[in-house]
Structure 1
Amino acid sequence: MASVHPLADVAEANIGSGTRVWQFVVILRGAQIGSNCNICAHALIEGDVIIGDRVTVKSGVFLWDGTRIEDDVFIGPNATFTNDPMPRSKVYLEAFSGITVRRGASIGANATLLPGITIGEFAMVGAGAVVTRDVDAHSVVVGNPARVIRKLKHD
């Protein structure tokens, strides 16, 4: 069974067992959150968001419609996800360009991810990076715009 803090605002969402939702979190109707996740204070998850198992979403993260997060992902505090490539006030898209974060990836604090990109398996995005294009699996990216500084060893 999920643990939802009484000061969280959780609509009808599918939340897996063992997941903890902390105070001042907002989860909109239709969101899907896996098992054994940790959704920290002051996070927002829109309705067309899917989060896998064992995901950590730190404080200040807003996950907008179209976002897909696979298993074992870490999202650092105040990481910024976007889903509209040309935002304008009162101009609404028919479909949003969501971000996909593949299994085991980590997103550093205050990183910004632009719409429609994919972060590959076990990739690492450095704190404060501005990610403007896809990141290959096992890559470490930093800077603005984010650039690969090394590849992580893997099996």
Structure 2
Amino acid sequence: MIPDDLDDVLPRKKKAGSRVVKAIHGVREIEPDPPFELGMAAHLAGRLGREQLHEAYAQHAAGATAIDDIMRRVCLRTLVRSMGSGATVRRHVTVIHPETFEIGDGVFFGEQSIIQGRLDGCFVIGKGVWIGPQSYFDARDLVLEEYVGWGSGAKVLGSEHTGDPLDVPFIRTDLKIAPVRICAWADIGVNSVVLPGVTVGRGAIVGAGAVVTRDVPDFAIVAGVPARVIRWRKKQGFEGIQAGRRSSRKFGRSD
């Protein structure tokens, strides 16, 4: 027979209390890259062709040593359009058409991230951006402004098929390319998806697993499929909150 009140029989386990600790990535000092790294990158770029530079990057992509960490950063610098100091490039990061990338200071690339650049595209990554493991970027026309947090497994799409005409397979129809902008200080939740043409506002938060189909106002918190405003960040001095509230009707706030 099962007792009516299990609390009288089973020992109670105390729940671990939440705690607040200091951030690491967002507050760390960004040191200039050492001269030997810059010199090595310049030397490789002057001696090797692009195919060979890609091969050099691939040789160190899976390595777990300190030398591999350095060489991934050095090789990436030779491949991109521009790159600041203090980047961290974890293992198995895949870069396609990196010549279209502009990387700011202190950017973190998480393990197994995939950045699908395009020949005619542009991907701008601002200072202090943190990209979690297993993220995917369709970087046709994409900007991540400074100190954006990109949760593990989150994805962004920069294009979609038109679906016209109907008498050909869907994947053979034309592509519609639309810019995506993630404004400064925004945070994109784990396993969320941002669709083409979307702007996520300054300081906004996208909940885990959300599918963002429309613009997100500044300092809004959105969640769900499709994502809707569920509340606002409460903080004195934030600009744009009132304007964001007025625009929430268009976005479809669920109160």
Same topology, TM > 0.5: yes
Show the counterpart of 1:89: 171
- Equivalent runs, 1:4-153 vs 2, <5 Å: 6-7=60-61, 10=76, 12-13=79-80, 14-27=82-95, 28-45=98-115, 46=117, 48-64=122-138, 65-86=140-161, 88-91=170-173, 93=175, 96-153=177-234
Higher strand proportion:
1
Give secondary structure in 2 for the equivalent of 1:32: strand
CA distance in 2, matches of 1:32, 1:26: 16
- Per-residue deviation, 1:15: 2.1
Q: Which structure ranks higher in relative contact order (CA pairs < 8 Å, sequence separation ≥ 6)?
A: 1
Greater helix content? 2
Rg larger in 1 or in 2?
A: 2
CA RMSD of aligned residues (A): 2.3
8 Å contact kept, 1:43–1:60: yes
Moved over 6 A (4+): 2-5
What letter is aligned with 1:36?
G
Does the Cα contact within 8 Å between 1:119 and 1:137 map onto a contact in 2?
Answer: yes
How many residues get paired? 154
Structure 2's unaligned 5+ residue stretches are 1-32, 38-56, 62-71, 163-169, 238-255
Name whichever of 124-133 and 3-12 sits farther off.
Answer: 3-12
Q: Any conservation in 2 of the 1:12–1:30 contact (CA below 8 Å)? A: no
TM-score by length of structure 1 reads 0.89
* Normalised TM-score (structure 2): 0.56
CA distance change for structure 1 residues 92 and 150 in 2, over 3 Å: closer, same or farther?
Answer: same
Q: What SS is found at the alignment partner of 1:29?
A: helix
